[in-house]
């Protein structure tokens, strides 16, 4: 039955490729978790320049703590960026802050409904402490809704225009490689606990599942040939 062999070979190839893909994902996720843990237990950054140097050197920075003692928030620009952290649909309010002539975006608060915001965001001035976590900019997930600049609603940090939402000619010149997930503007809260996000790593289970299916398929294939008399073992007469 050459057609049976061809079908089994095709499915066997698919199952092995799926298992190998999960193995590669397992290695990637394991390295990611190691980087997150390294950043979580590292000492905080105390300047934006330190963050930029760490990124340039390839050091783990995502989820690492940051304590900025004197930042300036001189622009009243703010942006609403969609988030579904902890499965709670809401909007992060991003504002540009500057420290030592380096400007980045920082999310100071999370709101449920932009339409019911009911306030006009004002710049906070100078000497503003910021305590939080560094977050690297990530690519927008494929299939995400399109941002609506006219409503100042964005579905990914990488989609922010880096200019004032009401005056496109006013360039913010922010470093878009990362942002700050601010938790406090009070230095009394300087000692934030390490942030360990809930990142699932089920790839080992998936890998073993696909490889097991491949082994089971081979066993069934040999049993069929054995019962048809086309395959005999040495101890059989």
Whether residues 117 and 181 share a domain: the answer is yes
Whether residues 104 and 215 share a domain: the answer is no
Q: How many domains in the chain?
A: 2
Whether residues 158 and 62 share a domain: the answer is yes
Q: Please say whether the dihedral angle defined by the alpha carbons of residues 99, 102, 103 and 107, taken in this order, is positive or negative.
A: negative
> In terms of residue numbers, what domain contains 35?
13-43+199-231
Q: Report the predicted TM-score, pTM, of the whole model to 2 decimal places.
A: 0.69
Whether residues 57 and 17 share a domain: the answer is no
Give Rg (Cα) of the chain: 26
Whether residues 210 and 182 share a domain: the answer is no
Residue 8 lies in a domain: no
Q: From the CB of residue 70, how many other CB atoms can be counted at a distance below 10 Å?
A: 12
Residues of the chain by 3-state class (helix, strand, coil), percent to 5: 40, 25, 35
Q: Tens digits of per-residue pLDDT, 195-233?
A: 676 778 899 999 999 999 999 998 888 888 777 776 665
Whether residues 78 and 17 share a domain: the answer is no
pLDDT at position 120 is 45
Tokens representing residue 34 in the block: 């190691």
Q: Tens digits of per-residue pLDDT, 172-189?
A: 888 889 999 888 877 776
């Amino acid at each position: 039955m050459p057609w049976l062999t061809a079908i089994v070979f095709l499915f066997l190839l698919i199952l092995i490729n799926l298992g190998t893909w999960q193995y590669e994902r397992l290695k990637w996720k394991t390295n990611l978790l190691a980087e997150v843990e390294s950043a979580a237990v590292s000492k905080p950054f105390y300047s934006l320049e330190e963050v930029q140097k760490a990124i340039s050197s390839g050091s783990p920075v995502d989820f690492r703590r940051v304590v900025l003692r004197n930042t300036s928030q001189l622009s009243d620009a703010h942006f609403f960026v969609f988030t579904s952290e902890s499965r709670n649909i809401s909007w992060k309010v991003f504002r540009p802050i500057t420290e030592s002539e380096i400007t980045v975006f920082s999310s100071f608060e999370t709101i449920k409904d932009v339409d019911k915001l009911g306030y006009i965001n004002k710049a906070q001035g100078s000497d503003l402490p910021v305590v939080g976590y560094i977050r690297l900019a990530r690519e927008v997930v494929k299939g995400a809704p399109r941002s609506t600049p006219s409503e100042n609603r964005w579905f990914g940090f990488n989609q922010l225009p880096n200019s004032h939402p009401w005056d496109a000619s006013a360039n913010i010149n922010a470093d878009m490689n990362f942002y700050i997930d601010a938790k406090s503007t009070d230095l009394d809260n300087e000692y934030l606990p390490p942030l360990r996000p809930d990142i699932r790593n089920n790839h080992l289970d998936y890998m073993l599942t696909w490889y097991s299916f491949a082994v089971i398929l081979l066993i069934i294939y040999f049993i069929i040939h054995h019962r048809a008399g086309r395959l005999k073992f040495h101890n059989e007469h």
